[in-house]
Copies of this chain bind each other. A is one copy, B any other.
Amino acid sequence: MTSTPSDVSDWWMTEIIDMAPGQIRLRGHPIEELIGNVSFPQMIWLMTRGDLPTPEQAKLLECALVAAVDHGPQAPSIAAARMAVTCGLGLNGAMASAVNMLDDVHGGAGEQAVELFGWIDTAVQQGLHVEDAAAQMIDRWQTERTTFVPGYGHRFHKPEDPRAPRLLNLVDDAAREGIVSGRFARIGTAILQILNSRKGKPIPMNIDGATAVVYAELGFAGQLARGLFCLSRSVGVIAHAWEQMNQGGRNKGPTPPAYRWTYTGPNPIEDKS
């Protein structure tokens, strides 16, 4: 949008939004036609991908967004949000502090799972059985990337993360209704079976794996899986930051003050009474 087409305007170029005084169009749709007529998940899809999803597609996306909102104050992001408000930050600052931490180790797991699923899907389309493709690509992942298979395993939810079977069931339903193909659910399940068999014990599919199935079924790129996870988890972040605001406190540390920390360096203070 520009009154003076120029190299300055061209420095900021976008297909997302056009404006004129009194007018806003998002992906070509006048904003006043979107408000009240599309759901928030439809809007998320429209903004990130350019086209409007069907209500059924948006419904499945919504399930993933609902599933990942919170995992409690033991999560570093939630703890950071709660500490942040006791340092004087508003909800925007608390949210920024928390979302920043949803990096490769956590927020990135969904992104990586979509990528791994994609490798397997390509191999299946080239003729491999899904079990063979999954086994080969798990090996490749562990060789080229890391021993952590993204989307599987949980230090707390054993033997099962309650969100995963529920989401997989909903994907199966959607596949039966022709809304999605269901092939990423098969891939996700194939990985699960291989990991269970290799480990000799049940390894849960976690929230990153289960939502990655949904995002891959719906055609989202891996990086967007991370973005959508951040959006979903922000709901929990806001809820916890707001609860902490109401609880009060100043400069809240990670543990009760009496415990402090353990010093292991040189020349310790002997008498700490």
Contact surface of A with B, Cβ cutoff 8 Å:
1-32, 34-36, 38-41, 43-44, 47-48, 50, 62-63, 65-67, 69-77, 79-80, 82-84, 86-93, 95-97, 99-108, 111, 155-163, 165-167, 170, 221, 223-224, 226-228, 230-231, 234-236, 238-243, 245, 247, 250-269, 271-273
Contact = CB atoms under 8 A, between A and B. Distances in A.
A158 to B, nearest CB: 5
Contact of A12 (B18, B32, B73, B86): B73
18 contacts: A2-B263, A4-B258, A9-B262, A13-B263, A17-B71, A17-B236, A19-B72, A39-B66, A43-B235, A44-B235, A47-B235, A48-B235, A74-B260, A76-B252, A96-B97, A97-B100, A100-B100, A230-B234
A244 to B, nearest CB: 9
B162 A30 contact: yes
A271 to B, nearest CB: 7
Which of A35, A226, A273 counts the most B-chain CB atoms under 10 A from its CB? A35
A6 B260 CA distance: 10
Given A17-B70, A80-B83, A92-B101, 5 more contacts: A14-B263, A18-B268, A19-B156, A88-B105, A231-B238
Nearest to A267: B28
Contacts of A100: 84, 89, 92-93, 96-97, 100
A34 B232 CA distance: 14
A25 B86 contact: no
Nearest to A42: B66
Nearest to A87: B101
Contacts of A74: 12, 253-255, 257, 260-261
Nearest to A223: B91
Nearest to A166: B32
A167 B259 CA distance: 29
A21 B267 contact: no
A40 B26 CA distance: 21
A88 B111 CA distance: 14
